[in-house]
Amino acid sequence: MSYPIPAAAMPAATGPGRVGQSTAVEQSRAVAEVQAAIYIAQQCPRSTSAAIAAMQESCGHMALAEKAFFRYSRGGSQVSGPTIHLAKELARVWGNVQYGISELRRDDEYGQSEMQSWAWDLQTNARNSNTFIVQHVRDTKNGPKKLTDQRDLYENNANNGARRLREAIFTVLPLWFVESAKDLCTKTLESGGGKPLPERIAGAIRVFGEMGITLDQLVQKLGGRNSNDWTAHDVAQLTVIYKSIRNGEVSKDDEFPQQRVTADELTRSTPTGTPAAPQVGAQSAADDPWASTPVAPIPNS
């Protein structure tokens, strides 16, 4: 049984009245390109061992390893995972994989874009595609903020699309391939490209210092351990955090909450120059406990 949808409830999408010559050529070319890609993928299948070797080489470079992980804050805890940069590199070395993001429709009136991300293993025909809606808003500390600037919209759509594309690519790649790549990138970060550990620790303290993050905050972040006791893994974590702050994926305050108020801060007597006592009317001694002698305690009533 079917249920007719009233025309008023679902208006037909308006399209161009005619298809131009160059559009027609492009349509034919796109069909031929897909057919050719599938044909070539079948004729030239990937070599798994060559793909593994290429992956190992890529993940051994600091340039990729440093971009391989993201961090962001959600509900007070940090979420981390592999980035779109790692996904694209793995798709490249795996071979015969196509992927993309498309903005299907933009609706300024409703403040949303309909988008699609997809990844396709042409050799195995494993394909993943997601159609999703991106609201033209940015979440801020004071609630969602509506976006209207074209550049903001482009970046918002690109960011949201990249996250879905990352998942689409990882879906068509074998899990073991992705996990091996993540392990290798972590090892590369830990080895720091061959630089001695004390030098890397000093470098981390310096670059965070330039961001206004103190050594005390880094120590607090790493469980209160002194910088002499930091491991290669700790420095690798700090590298990911540093990159994520630089990329705006996570804020400084999320990763490094402000230093707690100390007893010394409360008791330090620094006059503000603004008197705290009331200025209007005469005050009796009983009204200002600071001026009076201590009052003897009385039994609770």
Partner 1 sequence: MTTTIEAPTSTLPVFTGPGVYADLPAEVYHGQFVPGDSLSSTGARKLLAPSCPALFKYDQDHGQAHKKEFDLGHAAHKLVLGEGAHIEVIDAPDWKSKAAREERDAAHAEDLVPLLAKDYTKVEVMADAIRRHPLAGPLFTPGTGVAEQSLFWQDQRTGIWRRARPDWVKNGGPRTICVDYKTTADASLDALERAIYTYGYNMQGPWYLDGLRALGLADENAQFIFVFQEKTAPYLITVVGLDPTALQIGAAKNCRAIDTYRECIETGHWPAYLDDIAYLSLPIWAEKNDTEEYL
**Which residue number, 14 or 284, has a Cβ lying nearer to partner 1?**
284
**Site membership for partner 1, residue 7 (CB under 8 A):** no
**Which residue number, 2 or 284, has a Cβ lying nearer to partner 1?**
284
**Tally of residues, the chain:** 301
Grouping H, G, I as helix, E, B as strand and the rest as coil, residue 121 is strand
Q: Of 162, 150, 151, nearest to 115 (Cα)?
A: 162
**Which residue number, 73 or 98, has a Cβ lying nearer to partner 1?**
73
Q: Of 260, 286, 248, nearest to 72 (Cα)?
A: 248
For residue 298, the minimal CB distance to partner 1 (Å) is 6
Grouping H, G, I as helix, E, B as strand and the rest as coil, residue 37 is helix
Which tokens in the block code for residue 241?
């955090």
**Site membership for partner 1, residue 43 (CB under 8 A):** no
The 197-236 site mask, x for binding partner 1 (CB under 8 A), equals ----------------------------------------
HSE, CB side, 13 Å, CA atoms: give it for residue 192: 19
Residue 160, amino acid = N
**Site membership for partner 1, residue 253 (CB under 8 A):** yes
**Site membership for partner 1, residue 284 (CB under 8 A):** yes
- Whether the CA torsion 194, 166, 47, 31 is positive or negative: it is negative
Cα–Cα distances in angstroms (integers) from residue 16 to residues 19, 23, 27, 181, in the given order: 7, 11, 14, 46
Where in 52-111 is the site for partner 1 (CB under 8 A)? 75-76
Cα–Cα distances in angstroms (integers) from residue 14 to residues 4, 11, 98, 112, in the given order: 20, 9, 29, 18
Give the C-alpha separation, 25 to 69, whole Å.
41
**Site membership for partner 1, residue 301 (CB under 8 A):** yes
**Site membership for partner 1, residue 148 (CB under 8 A):** no
Contacts 24+ apart (CB under 8 A), 58-61: 58/89, 58/93, 58/181, 59/181, 59/184, 59/185, 59/188, 60/184, 60/188, 61/188
**Which residue number, 14 or 77, has a Cβ lying nearer to partner 1?**
77
**Which residue number, 7 or 282, has a Cβ lying nearer to partner 1?**
282
Region binding partner 1 by CB under 8 A among candidate stretches 85-93, 102-110, 193-201, 269-277: 269-277
Q: Residues 2, 21, 150, 267: which binds partner 1 (CB under 8 A)? A: 267
Token pair 């974590």 is found at: 237
**Which residue number, 60 or 111, has a Cβ lying nearer to partner 1?**
111
**Which residue number, 6 or 75, has a Cβ lying nearer to partner 1?**
75
For residue 256, the minimal CB distance to partner 1 (Å) is 10
**Site membership for partner 1, residue 287 (CB under 8 A):** yes
**Which residue number, 202 or 215, has a Cβ lying nearer to partner 1?**
215
**Site membership for partner 1, residue 49 (CB under 8 A):** no
**Site membership for partner 1, residue 285 (CB under 8 A):** no
Provide the binding-site residues for partner 1, judged by CB under 8 A. Answer: 75-76, 141-143, 145, 253-254, 257-258, 260-261, 263, 265-272, 274-284, 286-290, 294-301
